[in-house]
Amino acid sequence: MLSALVESSLNLVFPPTCLGCGDRIHSPDNRLFLCGPCETKIDRIGGAICQRCGAPTESAQVQKCKRCPTFESFYMASRSATVYSTPIRELIHEFKFKGSRRVRPLLCDLFVRGANRHLESKDFDLIVPVPLHWWRQFRREFNQAEILGESLSESWGIPLVLNSVRRVRMTPPQSGLSGRWRERNIQGAFQPGARGLAGARVLLVDDVMTTGRTLAACSSALLKAGATSVVGYTLSRRL
Ligand SMILES: [Zn+2]
Ligand SMILES: [Zn+2]
């Protein structure tokens, strides 16, 4: 209540600016963080996609595309809600590194809607978020994949399981590394956790997919933990 009051008076003095273009947002709704034009620029993936990696394709559905992983992926297929471009890139950055709470509802909404476009809840028994290393989670105080997974778990009525896989090595962000280093970086970074997954069909969720190597390494640990199948799903993906 108090924070809402403080927030609304701050909005009077400092009108909110759009996270996409930096323009002031003229709206009585102080929860807005994108202007109208930037909101429409969010590149939602729909229509024709690659059946394996979920990348948008020119026209028809394809079974495999040039963006598909060339390494052993361990997951059956992957899907993503959006293409990683402005303004979704800025929103995710705000969410992940600045801990911004105000962008969470929009990102969770995009995440759930994307899942409803590309996946069916009946195909999964459990949702597992890609874990952070405990030290990184301690520093950041939350795991963005877990927050997204929670929103989908609530919407679909499927349990979110947190202790079936552990991140045993702290790895630099995949985005800053070249292909070969990415592979070395992520190999062996995950191990099965305390909870077994006997026979479960798992939906593995994360915020951003770069090459799919993180999903692959995590999927391998989930299969070792007893999962029968893993499908990856992310809020956004780099093309
Ligand atoms: Zn804008
Ligand atoms: Zn593909």
Domain range list for the chain: 47-237
* pLDDT averages per 10-residue partition of the chain, 239 residues: 58 71 74 82 94 91 91 95 94 85 89 97 98 84 94 97 89 66 74 91 96 94 96 97
Contact indicator for 234, 206 with CB cutoff of 8 Å? yes
> Are the CB atoms for 233 and 205 separated by under 8 Å?
yes
Provide the pLDDT for residue 218. Answer: 96
Res 177: pLDDT: 64
83 Cα to the center of ligand 1, angstroms: 17
Start-to-end CA distance of the chain, whole Å, equals 42
pLDDT of 74 reads 95
How far is it, in rounded angstroms, from Cα 193 to Cα 166? Answer: 5
Q: What is the dihedral of CA 215, 220, 223, 224, to 10 degrees?
A: -140
87 C-alpha to ligand 1 centroid (Å): 8
With H, G, I as helix, E, B as strand and everything else as coil, classify residue 182.
helix
Spell out which residues have Cβ within 5 A of ligand 1, the ion.
18, 20-21, 35, 38
How far, in Å, from the CA of 213 to the mean position of ligand 2?
14
Q: How far is the CA of 103 from the centre of ligand 1 (A)?
A: 14
3-state secondary structure of 230: strand
Rounded Cα gap, residues 132 and 140, in angstroms: 10
Helix 179-186 with 213-224: angle, nearest 10 deg: 30
In angstroms, the CA 196 to CA 121 distance is: 21
Cα angle: 188, vertex 193, 198; to 5 degrees: 110
pLDDT for residue 24: 86
User: 3-state DSSP: the chain helix, strand, coil percent, rounded to 5?
Assistant: 35, 20, 45
Asked whether the whole model's pTM tops 0.85, one would answer yes
The beta-strand segments (E) located in 4-162 are 77-83, 126-129
Residues ≥6 apart with Cβ < 8 Å to 157: 121
Structure tokens at 226: 């007893």
How far is the C-alpha of 218 from the C-alpha of 211, rounded, in Å? 13
- Ligand lying nearest the CA atom of residue 66: 2
When the candidates are 3.30.1240, 3.40.50, 1.25.40, 1.20.120, the CATH number that belongs to 47-237 is: 3.40.50
Please tell me the number of the ligand nearest to residue 90's CA.
Answer: 1
Query: How large is the C-alpha radius of gyration of the chain?
Result: 18
Q: pLDDT at position 133, please?
A: 85
Q: Indicate the pairing of strand 190-192 with strand 165-167.
A: antiparallel
Give distance in angstroms: CA of 41 to centre of ligand 1: 9
Ligand minimally distant from the alpha carbon of residue 55: 2
